[in-house]
Amino acid sequence: MAAITETRLSITRAARHRLFWPAVILVILLVTNVFFSGSFFKVEFRDGHLYGSVIDILRASAPLGLVALGMTLVIATGGIDLSVGAVVAIAGALACLRISGLDDQNSVTGVLLAVGLALLLSLALGVWNGFLVATVGIQPIIATLILMVAGRGLAQLITDGQIITINSSPYKMIGAGYWLGLPLCVIIAVGVAVVAGLIVRRSALGLLLESVGGNAEASRLAGIKSRWLILIVYVFAGLCAGIAGLMISSNVSSADGNNAGLLIELDAILAVVIGGTSLSGGRFSIAGTILGAVIIKTLDITIYTVGIPPEVTLLFKAVVVVVLCLAQAPKFREKFQRRRPSAPAPQAPQQKVEVTA
């Protein structure tokens, strides 16, 4: 009986962890795919590369994970960045435009220069957002909405309203290449996430970000320079969106200023929320955000595997997200547990008392 009670307590403690229910949903989605595709978990090693549905999910999750990673730190400070989709389009458009003008599109030097220019522009756009929010004092949703609208126009201006196609093997490596048998985009995304996690968790930066997001006024009175912190997180979000834009455009060897990264900001915010980060700011979870991005892409794959009609795809996705968010909500779990009949408490064994005359 004691062992059963201890097991229940362990399960209860695990269920309270912020990553427990997202992990459960991910397992359910993966198992669901197995019923409709028996070879879903099959991973093959061909020509020195890994192939399989799981690898496809990881590859698709890399750009979204990067965008959501930058969004996590922005939301941790109590902000929001709606312009990441436009930055994705701008970075891909500028890189492809530069490469298309090269005499030799397979020139490594030329490709590296194009990538560098795209990332520098992404950093500059992040500085612009941070300046509007931290220095000018514009509300984050308004400040980033400006670049969200203007950025799409800038991306279409770079591409002249056309789809730029290129044929560059070095550039294609970013989004469709392999290294050590794994997709290079996955390695890049994991590397950026690990570096970011080490910086914010092994230094005081993470606590400072949570302090600014939890109570900005108290942080200011405590001597924390919140303006610089807010500027840094928006610059980092711009950098992550720029890298994601390079991955997306290199994967298809083209740049579309109108559709590249379209609505990726909504999926990024959703991944952050699924990972357990509060939209009001404060505590955040980088691991939870990455898990949220994988869940979203797994859900997309599941929709196609199950064969859900296209006209109800978005509705099905919304229902799954609502269920996941409810499972994570502490108040909902408390109400659900209260309605469950509690098990009777074990009674102590009665001892016989001998009465002697």
Give pTM, 2 decimals.
0.87
- For residues 325 and 179, the model is more confident at 179
Q: Write the DSSP symbol of residue 109.
A: H
What DSSP letter does each residue of 146-190 carry, written as one string? HHHHHHHHHHHHHHTTS-EE---HHHHHHHH-EETTEEHHHHHHH
Alpha helices for the chain (secondary structure H): 2-15, 20-36, 53-76, 84-100, 108-130, 140-159, 169-176, 184-201, 205-214, 216-221, 226-252, 264-274, 286-306, 313-328, 330-339
Query: What is the sign, positive or negative, of the torsion defined by CA atoms of 25, 301, 294, 84?
Result: negative
Q: What is the mean pLDDT of the chain?
A: 86
% residues pLDDT > 90 (the chain): 53
Confidence at residue 189, expressed as pLDDT on a 0 to 100 scale: 95
Dist CA 60 CA 258 (whole Å): 20
SS3 46: strand
Question: What is the pLDDT at residue 345?
Answer: 47
pLDDT(349) > 70: no
Give the pLDDT confidence score for residue 9 in this predicted structure.
Answer: 64
| Across 139-167, average pLDDT | 93
Please say if the pLDDT value at position 343 is more than 50. Answer: no
Question: Is the model's pLDDT at 111 over the cut of 90?
Answer: yes
Alpha-carbon distance of 67 to 236, in angstroms, equals: 10
For the segment 284-311, the average pLDDT, to the nearest whole number, is 88
Per the document, the length of the chain is 357
